[in-house]
Amino acid sequence: MSAIAQPAAVNAAARPVKKASGWDHLKTLLPYVRRYKSMTALGLLTNTLMGLVGAFPQLIIGMITDCISGSARTLSTLTGTARVALSPLLSLYAPMNRHALGLFCMILIGVMLVKGFLSFWTRWILIGVSREIEYDLRNDMLARLVELEPEFYVRNRTGDLMSRATNDLNAVRMVLGPGIMYSATTIVTMIVAVFFMVQLSASLTLWVLLPVPVVAFAVRYFGETIHRLSEQIQAALGTLSTRAQENLTGIRVIRAYAQEKPEIEAFDLANRDYVNRNIKLITTWSLFFPFLTALIGVTFVILLGKGGRDVIDHRFTVGTMWAFYWFLGQLVFPMIALGWVTNIFQRGAASMGRLNYILHAKARIGDSTDAVEGHGNGATAGRNGDSAQAAAVPETSIRGEIEFRHLTFTYPTARNEDGTGGGPVLRDINLHVPAGSTLAIVGPTGSGKSTLAALIARLWDAPPETLFLDCRSIRDYPLAEVRRAMGYVPQDTFLFSDTLRENIAFGVNTAREEHILEAAEIASISGEIQSFPQRYDTMVGERGITLSGGQKQRTSIARAVLRQPKILILDDALSSVDTDTEERILRRLRDVMRARTAILISHRVSTVKNADQIVVLRDGRIIERGTHEELLALGGYYADLNQKQMLEEELERE
């Protein structure tokens, strides 16, 4: 960079980023509204018609007043197009006439019925559209959340994400439903009311509308304050939701360590912060409404003072004055609704900004531009044969050959925002796993074993040109195909709050009963399932809380086996089972995984000793590799581990 260019770059970097406005946040909703533009237009049309019809009751009440008071000419000051449009109705007028009075009363009832009919359809259509958009938004949010990589969930708390998907989404729906509906109602009502007020008396209209500029200033000031406070409240609610979610999830740990009181106190602090921020908003809101009410009162005082004098001076009739009064009363709702709608839009804009954080988040792990379209999209749902692996998982062309070439990996979450900090977890890994072979990985805690497995499953992205499948960069494959080829059992076993059958069949859309039973048999869990009262229909509870650690691990193994994977990854998946059960599972897996690639990660030598290749990781580097016998002959870490475990087994037998 030249010396001349440097100051400009520095200035550009130092320039503060403009904070997004409420409208910038809400613009994201426009594509959703366009999906229902026909229904939205129909709802706005019925709303407009309701506003037009809503002007008639005030005029009819004025005519009834003139009829009763005996005015020679009703609404005498009404001129222009308004009088021409109302000429059929005005022709029915007769002073002090019972027949005319009865007609006007019947017409008033009919007008109110029509207005009620239009009001129903306006609400039904516009609120219905808001619910449909809420449905679309919720689906899009979930679709985006399941696409995002683990890094996103490391940086964001579950409770906060749940708060965005519930409270923030509801606040946005209020904008789309009541917000739009009452905004349209306010605009139409004000236009129609002011039009007829001007037609009745332009000078009096100017007098009663004098407080309007003050209202506009108040709405702007209070709106900005409400928006700022709403953002703070939603953030505080996210923190509170996170605290509650963590306490509920970790309730057994809290009780085991007798931390009920400290956790209650911590929750109380977060709860109090949320309440205090809401009180600040309520205080602002409480000032806003009395201020609007006072301005409305001023307009009525002006009307009664100025208008009453005009009636006394016979410049217009009592009916005109009464119609004017009701039109002004009709404007009271829009003025109050203006404050309410302002609150809805400001809260909705703050919430939409929080939702946009999710909707605009970019998945850093995905298909590259040169990923082969339709690569390996086999049409077969399964394979011929009677094994559990014949379950319906789409075919893939991946054979299972894995190769690492000078891989050095650092977790993105370990870096600071400026890209500094964080050391590599894996360093200069060179490893070749032939298709159909078994690789075992051992090493001390924190050596990078699980990271290596997660890179193969592409839960994290390896640096370009460092990880290959079948001699092809893993990034060149569609992500769905890579995942389809994997059967992955992670350390932190997760089961859904569903039946055992559904948990085993997870990820296989058309799994047959016999395949589920065989997968459970391979994982050595079928006998225990049969002992349950409801067998495979047993509900496992949240995160499989009703099962032991070993039962959860074996259920996860059955789930992976049922997928018929080309690459099976067991990340310390046998740590919670005894050695006899482990041996049974491994024996069955050896039969199942013939001609398939297997990655075994374990701290037990008994688990990995029959692998075709064993590597030892320490501090992110491969320090030993070979078969069981070759590593024993080296006399290094693996040999020491084997000796220690043999001594432990002997002590247990004694």
> What pLDDT is attached to residue 200?
79
Residue type, 235: A
**Ranges 8-12, 197-201, 315-319, 429-433, most confident:** 429-433
d(CA 65, CA 59) in angstroms, rounded, equals: 10
d(CA 159, CA 168) in angstroms, rounded, equals: 13
Q: 338 or 408, which is more confident?
A: 408
User: Region 279-306: what's the mean pLDDT?
Assistant: 78
Half-sphere exposure of 289 (CA within 13 A, CB side): 11
Nearest to 64 by CA among 304, 317, 315: 317
> Going along 444-585, which residue ranges are E strands?
467-469, 472-473, 486-489, 567-571
pLDDT bin (cut points 50, 70, 90) of residue 384 is very low
Cβ–Cβ under 8 Å, residues 607 and 597: no
How many Cβ atoms from other residues are within 10 Å of residue 619's Cβ?
14
> What pLDDT is attached to residue 114?
92
CB-based burial, 546-563: b 16+ in 10 Å, e otherwise: bbeebbbbbbbbbbbbbb
Rounded to the nearest 10°, the torsion over CA 225, 229, 231, 233 is -160
Q: Does residue 182 register a pLDDT over 70?
A: yes
pLDDT bin (cut points 50, 70, 90) of residue 579 is confident
Domains of the chain and any CATH numbers:
20-359 (1.20.1560.10), 388-653 (3.40.50.300)
Cβ–Cβ under 8 Å, residues 101 and 95: no
Q: 336 or 562, which is more confident?
A: 562
CB-based burial, 301-316: b 16+ in 10 Å, e otherwise: ebbeeebeebbeeebb
> What pLDDT is attached to residue 374?
45
Average pLDDT, the chain: 78
Distances (CA, A) of 55 to 48, 94, 196, 398: 11, 21, 8, 72
Q: Does residue 177 register a pLDDT over 90?
A: no
Q: Does residue 500 register a pLDDT over 60?
A: yes
Convert the pLDDT of each residue in 195-219 to its tens digit: 888 887 878 888 877 777 777 677 7
User: Region 321-348: what's the mean pLDDT?
Assistant: 75
pLDDT bin (cut points 50, 70, 90) of residue 418 is low
Distances (CA, A) of 488 to 404, 577, 601, 609: 19, 18, 11, 21
Written as six digits, the tokens of 339 are 């404050």
Convert the pLDDT of each residue in 257-269 to its tens digit: 677 787 888 888 8
Q: 20 or 226, which is more confident?
A: 226
Q: Looking at the DSSP assignment, which residues form a beta bridge with residue 624?
A: 616
pLDDT bin (cut points 50, 70, 90) of residue 117 is very high
Helices (H), 314-363: 318-359
d(CA 43, CA 25) in angstroms, rounded, equals: 24
Written as six digits, the tokens of 504 are 């085993």
Give the rounded percent of residues in the chain with a pLDDT score beyond 70: 87
> What pLDDT is attached to residue 15?
45
d(CA 393, CA 120) in angstroms, rounded, equals: 50
Rg of the chain (C-alpha set): 36
Q: Does residue 43 register a pLDDT over 70?
A: yes
d(CA 90, CA 83) in angstroms, rounded, equals: 8
d(CA 465, CA 472) in angstroms, rounded, equals: 9
Query: The whole model's pTM is what?
Result: 0.68
Q: Among 73-82, 160-169, 436-445, 527-536, where is mean pLDDT lowest?
A: 73-82
pLDDT bin (cut points 50, 70, 90) of residue 67 is confident
